[in-house]
């Protein structure tokens, strides 16, 4: 009898890139090949699986030395024919013909299943494809750390560190000039990056999407601080509600593109007390997503890659691997994407910041 043919699995990453993606890909491949699997990687997310398909073989040499690299060797998009999210987090049904095409394309290249690495939009799409009988294991990916089923997503820790490094620099220039500097972070509708980085980086105010505030109260806080110390650093999550609204550009096809919260808040402060504070803004943007993953994220991403192929091998399909209680578990994908994990007043970071006199509502 000849050697048993390897079972072919596809890897897809879709949505925004995230430090640690390459480490997940490499680890799934390195752990899976000795288990009797062969891997292909679809390029540019789901688009690579739809016609005309674009994929490449992922063998051990092709994934060697990539785990410390930011971005993704497969490329990615957060729009396209497989979009399952739009507006402010609304879930959408992918057209049946697109799902059927994806399934047929997989069959045409003898690919028996997928490891899908993505946030709630990507995984919502994955779950719809799994309903057609495609073998899928999901891996959570977002710097926002907002997936309900998992304690941590890779890429988050790196993003937080990047913001803290920025805050360290902002503090010295803010205090030298006696300015109020607003630093805007990513995070969409959850304030995890801003909360954790704001606390670690010593921000004087932390403004999160979860806790609407009155600009008048914020101005009172600035007055009190400036009669005392003369400068402030304000951490503003991009999803913070200024004038009770999320600031961003709506697009009919993709999710709302956030950004501009810090500028809007500066305008409001200026309107309430013209010329009183010298203010500047810094939007950190994609700096938070790019570059090398830190040690914690590499470690987590490697564990996710290995857990994903193990879950696949056990036949745990339509499930997402998740990091809970310091170990790896799996949950049904639909359950994993059902709730957005948002900051609550019970969070240790929140209560700590509050007691330290940080303006956080």
Decide whether 152 or 179 has the Cβ nearer to ligand F6P.
Answer: 152
Integer angstrom CA distances of residue 221 from 155, 270, 360: 33, 14, 11
Residues 293, 155: Cα–Cα separation, whole Å: 7
Q: How far is the CB of 277 from ligand F6P (least distance, A)?
A: 27
Q: How far is the CB of 60 from ligand F6P (least distance, A)?
A: 30
Q: How far is the CB of 113 from ligand F6P (least distance, A)?
A: 26
Decide whether 255 or 349 has the Cβ nearer to ligand F6P.
Answer: 255
> In the set 19, 117, 139, 186, which binds ligand F6P (CB under 6 A)?
186
> In the set 43, 47, 120, 144, which binds ligand F6P (CB under 6 A)?
144
Decide whether 108 or 257 has the Cβ nearer to ligand F6P.
Answer: 257
144 is catalytic: yes
Nearest to 44 by CA among 21, 84, 76, 14: 76
Residues 351, 236: Cα–Cα separation, whole Å: 18
Q: How far is the CB of 119 from ligand F6P (least distance, A)?
A: 6
* 258: contact with ligand F6P by CB under 6 A: yes
The single residue of 17, 120, 144, 318 carrying the catalytic annotation is 144
Nearest to 20 by CA among 64, 58, 73: 73
Integer angstrom CA distances of residue 325 from 55, 149, 301: 36, 12, 16
* 16: contact with ligand F6P by CB under 6 A: yes
Within 10 A of 326 (CB to CB), how many other CB atoms are there? 6
Residue number of the CB closest to ligand F6P reads 186
Strands 7-13 and 37-42: parallel
Write out the binding residues for ligand F6P, residues 296-355 only, by CB under 6 A: none
* 289: contact with ligand F6P by CB under 6 A: yes
Decide whether 199 or 258 has the Cβ nearer to ligand F6P.
Answer: 258
Residue 151, classified by CB atoms within 10 Å of its CB into exposed (0-12), middle (13-18) or buried (19+), is middle
Strand partners, 184: 236, 283
- Which residue, chain included where needed, has tokens 């990047």? 162
> In the set 44, 141, 188, 319, which binds ligand F6P (CB under 6 A)?
188
Report the chain's C-alpha Rg in angstroms.
Answer: 22
Strands (DSSP E) contained in the chain are: 7-13, 37-42, 55-58, 85-86, 90-91, 113-118, 135-140, 180-185, 205-207, 232-237, 248-249, 257-258, 279-283, 319-324, 327-332
* 195: contact with ligand F6P by CB under 6 A: no
Binding mask 99-138 for ligand F6P (x = CB under 6 A): --------------------x-------------------
* 142: contact with ligand F6P by CB under 6 A: yes
Binding mask 61-90 for ligand F6P (x = CB under 6 A): -----------------x------------
Write out the two tokens for 8. Answer: 């072919």
Q: Which residues are catalytic?
A: 144
State the residues that interact with ligand F6P by CB under 6 A. 16, 78, 119, 142-144, 186-188, 238, 257-258, 289
């Amino acid at each position: 009898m000849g050697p048993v043919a390897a079972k072919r699995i596809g890897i897809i990453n879709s949505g925004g890139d995230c430090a640690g993606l390459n480490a997940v890909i490499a680890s799934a491949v390195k752990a899976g090949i000795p288990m009797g699997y062969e891997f292909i990687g679809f390029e540019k997310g789901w688009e690579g699986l739809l016609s005309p398909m674009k994929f490449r073989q992922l063998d051990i040499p092709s994934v060697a030395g990539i785990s410390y690299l930011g971005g993704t060797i497969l490329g990615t998009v957060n729009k396209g024919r497989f979009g399952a999210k739009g507006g402010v987090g609304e879930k959408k049904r992918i057209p049946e013909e697109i799902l059927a095409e994806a399934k047929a394309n997989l069959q045409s290249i003898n690919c028996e299943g997928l490891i899908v690495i993505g946030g709630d939009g990507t995984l919502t799409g994955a779950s719809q494809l799994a309903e057609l009988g495609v073998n899928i294991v999901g891996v959570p990916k977002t710097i926002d750390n907002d997936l309900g089923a998992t304690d941590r997503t890779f890429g988050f820790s790196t993003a937080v560190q990047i913001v803290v490094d920025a805050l360290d620099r902002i503090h010295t220039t803010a205090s030298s000039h006696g300015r109020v500097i607003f630093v805007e972070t990513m995070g969409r509708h959850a304030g995890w990056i801003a909360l954790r980085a704001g606390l670690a980086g010593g921000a004087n105010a932390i403004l999160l999407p979860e806790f609407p505030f009155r600009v008048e109260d914020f101005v009172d806080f600035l007055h009190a601080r400036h009669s005392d110390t003369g400068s402030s650093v304000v951490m503003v999550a991009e999803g913070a509600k200024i004038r009770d609204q999320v600031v961003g550009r709506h697009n009919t096809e993709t999710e709302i593109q956030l950004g501009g919260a810090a500028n809007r808040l500066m305008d409001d402060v200026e309107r309430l007390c013209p010329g009183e504070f010298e203010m500047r803004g810094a939007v950190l943007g994609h700096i938070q997503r790019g570059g090398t993953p830190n040690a914690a994220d590499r470690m987590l991403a490697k564990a996710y890659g290995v857990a994903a192929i193990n879950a696949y091998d056990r036949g745990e399909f339509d499930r997402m691997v998740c990091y809970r209680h310091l170990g790896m578990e799996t949950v049904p994908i639909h359950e994993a994407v059902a709730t957005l994990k948002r900051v609550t007043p019970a969070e240790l970071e929140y209560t700590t910041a509050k007691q330290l006199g940080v303006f956080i509502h």
